[in-house]
Structure 1
Amino acid sequence: MTAPDLDVLTRAHALFAGRREIPSLETGPSPALVRAEGLPAAYRHAAERRSDELTAARRVDAEVSAILVRAQRDQREAHQQTRAVLDAARADAVSTPDNPVAQRELLRRRAARLRAQHAHVLAARRRARRRLALLRALAYRRRHRLPAPNSRAALAVRAALSRLGCPYVWGATGPDRFDCSGLVKWAYAQAGVPLDRTTYDQINDGVPVSRSQVQPGDLVFPHAGHVQMAIGNGLVVEAPHAGANVQISRLGENIAIRRPL
């Protein structure tokens, strides 16, 4: 194993060095609100709303904690994997092949280790992007109101947002890679609503809706060959094009909109 090879493998392993414990955001059950008799109704209603907000915030905290724990686990796993490759390379570095067959075998192992280390780094990067996308989806949920959680549109929106960061792959329909129509088809399937497969068919699904009446879950067509899903607040979620990931974008101006039934 040459010094340049060892340097590459060492730098890859160093990407995952260091272990920092992530504190839990969960703080136990919410304290019960006192509902004394005789208090004004406005006060009780305000207290109940605040209790609901606290419950929602704790739920988000629990989800964030779970994502951070998984991210920490990913880091440890990548650290162990890259360390194993580096240790094997260092063991080879002290040996000197004494015949052509041994030299060829050493070259084969060198190439295999470089490929393996590269694969470990890429896999860790994909996992990190996935965790970041989940955190962004949680942040979106905290900032914006989604449709009622028991509606099919809300289930589809939440499903689509859960795929933020997944790569665009032409012809893919999930669950970890999508093209534009594959994303909306998969998201609505999670809500029990079948959609046609291609953009050119989906543009005939449901009923037409004007831009001023767009609602979360509506299918948005900036042109005949692309589909997005409205998520409210002038935004859409989409699998935009090759080389990109599922992302949140602005709602366009010149668009066609269909509402699945």
Structure 2
Amino acid sequence: MTAADVEILSRAHALFAGQSPAATLDAAGGVPMSSADGLPAAYHRVADRHRAELDRAQRVDADVSAILARAQRDHREARQQTRAVLDAARTDTFAAPDSPVAQRELVRRRAARLRAQQAHVLAARRRARRRLLLLRALRYRTRRPRLPAPNSRAALAVRAALSRLGCPYVWGATGPDRFDCSGLVQWAYAQAGVRLDRTTYDQINDGVPVPRSQVRPGDLVFPHTGHVQLAIGNGMVVEAPNAGANVQISRMGTAVAIRRPL
């Protein structure tokens, strides 16, 4: 193993150096509220509403704590994996091959360790990406976007698309369990009784154009002519992004074209 290889492996391990901080939220039981007799009905209504809000906040805290705990576990695992590869490589730097066979074996181990270290880093990045998407979905839930009327076609389409979170992207797929980007949008609106064209290149002509400042949940969002997303409120979209990814919530871009189905 060369010094340059050890340096490469060391930099990969350094991505996970140190202890990940313990980051959890207090998701303890809620504060009891009195329902004593003799108080006005309006008081009970307000108390019930705040109790429900507190319970909802505690559930979100518990979900966030679970995501953070998994992220810390991922960090520890990646640190251990990259450290093991680095230690093995350092041992090989002191091994002097004394035959062509030994030289070939050393080269084979060198290539295998470089590939293993790369695989550990890429796997950690994929896991981190999944944690980020989960946190983004929780953020969307807590911010209470102003949705269209519950029975409107746009609201039905948004709810249909959000029900497909986690479904895999497959090029050409139109649901109900696999989607490409335009297939997801078409399927979601079909659940609301609205027919959209099949491809992104046709959907960009559906409905009417809308400026970004007036975007509403249910609008079609085009970051470019080859991709379509569905606005869900609070500057967020739901999309089937690309091969190897799943249906997810993402931030809306700044340079986008927007169409509103009629």
**What is the TM-score normalised by the length of structure 1?**
0.73
- Distance verdict in 2 for CA 1:20–1:39, change over 3 Å: same
Deviations 1:61-115 (A, max 9, x none): 0110111011011111111211221122122222111111211221121111111
Instruction: Decide whether the 8 Å contact of 1:223 with 1:255 is kept in 2.
Output: no
Task: Map 1:104-183; keep pairs closer than 5 Å.
Answer: 104-145=104-145, 153-157=158-162, 159-160=164-165, 171=171, 179-181=180-182
Instruction: Decide whether the 8 Å contact of 1:218 with 1:258 is kept in 2.
Output: yes
- Distance verdict in 2 for CA 1:225–1:35, change over 3 Å: same
Letter of the structure 2 residue corresponding to residue 248 of structure 1: R
CA distance in 2, matches of 1:140, 1:116: 36
Q: Secondary structure at the match of 1:13?
A: helix
- Distance verdict in 2 for CA 1:85–1:172, change over 3 Å: farther
1:15 is matched with which residue? 15
Letter of the structure 2 residue corresponding to residue 137 of structure 1: A
1:99 is matched with which residue? 99
Quote the sequence identity (%).
59
Deviations 1:34-58 (A, max 9, x none): 1122212222221111111111111
2:231 is matched with which residue? 230
**What is the TM-score normalised by the length of structure 2?**
0.72
- Distance verdict in 2 for CA 1:46–1:142, change over 3 Å: same
Instruction: Decide whether the 8 Å contact of 2:237 with 2:251 is kept in 1.
Output: yes
- Distance verdict in 2 for CA 1:226–1:7, change over 3 Å: closer
Letter of the structure 1 residue corresponding to residue 238 of structure 2: V
Unaligned stretches of 5+ residues in structure 2: none
1:64 is matched with which residue? 64
Deviations 1:187-236 (A, max 9, x none): x59x999998643676799xx58859976345456787432112024653
Q: Secondary structure at the match of 2:84?
A: helix
Instruction: Decide whether the 8 Å contact of 2:161 with 2:184 is kept in 1.
Output: no
Shift of 1:181: 2.4
- Distance verdict in 2 for CA 1:120–1:221, change over 3 Å: closer
- Distance verdict in 2 for CA 1:226–1:13, change over 3 Å: closer
2:261 is matched with which residue? 258
CA distance in 1, matches of 2:64, 2:235: 26
Q: Secondary structure at the match of 1:72?
A: helix
Letter of the structure 2 residue corresponding to residue 4 of structure 1: A
Instruction: Decide whether the 8 Å contact of 1:216 with 1:230 is kept in 2.
Output: yes
Instruction: Decide whether the 8 Å contact of 1:78 with 1:124 is kept in 2.
Output: yes
Letter of the structure 2 residue corresponding to residue 11 of structure 1: R
Q: Secondary structure at the match of 1:237?
A: strand
Letter of the structure 1 residue corresponding to residue 252 of structure 2: S
CA distance in 1, matches of 2:59, 2:197: 35
Instruction: Decide whether the 8 Å contact of 2:179 with 2:240 is kept in 1.
Output: yes
- Distance verdict in 2 for CA 1:90–1:172, change over 3 Å: farther
Tell me, yes or no, if structure 1 residue 247 matches structure 2 residue 247. no
- Distance verdict in 2 for CA 1:46–1:251, change over 3 Å: farther
Q: RMSD in angstroms over aligned alpha carbons?
A: 4.2
Q: Secondary structure at the match of 1:144?
A: coil
- Distance verdict in 2 for CA 1:65–1:203, change over 3 Å: same
Instruction: Decide whether the 8 Å contact of 1:146 with 1:154 is kept in 2.
Output: no
CA distance in 2, matches of 1:249, 1:83: 38
Q: Secondary structure at the match of 1:29?
A: coil
Shift of 1:120: 0.9
1:77 is matched with which residue? 77
